[in-house]
Amino acid sequence: MIDKDAIARTRIIPVVMLQDAADAVPLARALAAGGLPLIEVTFRTAAAQESIRRIAGEVPEAVAGAGTVINAAQARQAVDAGAQFLVSPGFLPEVASAASELGVPLYPGVATGTEIMQALAAGLTTLKLFPAETVGGVKAVKALSAPFPQVQFIPTGGVSLSNLADYLSQPAILAVGGTWMVGKELIAAKDWAKITELASAAVAKAKEVRP
């Protein structure tokens, strides 16, 4: 299973929505080739579980996780398919309990102090700030970090190459989640080379901030 150190090394987690599980393996290989081996496959499509299964079974250089996990049943389905981490858009005790029972890390979405306190009460200290730009972006991270210095954030939602450096320069930010390198039009076109190129550019930008 992945840990915080692995996320800190990568610093960028592509958030992928796959309509066809046949795209999972070439997409994962393209991202890994560009230096982004951690992949969050959102559980918003019928192809999600099989996509995770294929990445886990056929792309050893990549690590698949499941995103948009909103209940315990989805958590179990994702881990059964090979997901090594779980991400949710909000905090729900039943998902946190399931993740703990399954032995995988969960990064729940938070946007307020109340949600952060609920997550902390469940023993979680690495949290997804979501939707990051909508709730204040870097300013929100700075504001929330003051009363919660023990929390590290993974902002997702509105993060792009243009503001990547602003986010990664914040000490409280462990990594970011983003979709700009895995746009649905690129996946539909099966433009794996472009995806690798965009992943490489993201990694290069991240290294400018934290070599």
Phi and psi, residue 204, nearest 5°: -65, -40
Topology classification of domain 4-209: TIM Barrel (3.20.20)
Q: From CA 51, how far away is CA 120, in angstroms rounded?
A: 31
List the chain domain ranges.
4-209
In the three-class reduction of DSSP (H, G, I as helix; E, B as strand; rest coil), residue 71 is classed as coil
- pLDDT per residue over 9-65, tens digit each? 999 999 999 999 999 999 999 999 999 999 999 999 999 999 999 999 999 999 999
Our answer to whether residue 184 is catalytic in this structure is no
pTM: 0.97
Our answer to whether residue 128 is catalytic in this structure is yes
Average pLDDT for residues 170-191, to the nearest whole number?
A: 98
Percent of the chain beyond pLDDT 70? 100
Please determine, for residue 149, whether its predicted confidence score (pLDDT) is greater than 90: yes
Question: Of these residues, 4, 40, 133, 184, which one is catalytic?
Answer: 40
Percent of the chain beyond pLDDT 90? 97
Question: Of these residues, 4, 61, 101, 128, which one is catalytic?
Answer: 128
Going by C-alpha positions, the residue among 76, 107, 91, 103 that lies closest to residue 177 is 107
Q: From CA 82, how far away is CA 100, in angstroms rounded?
A: 16
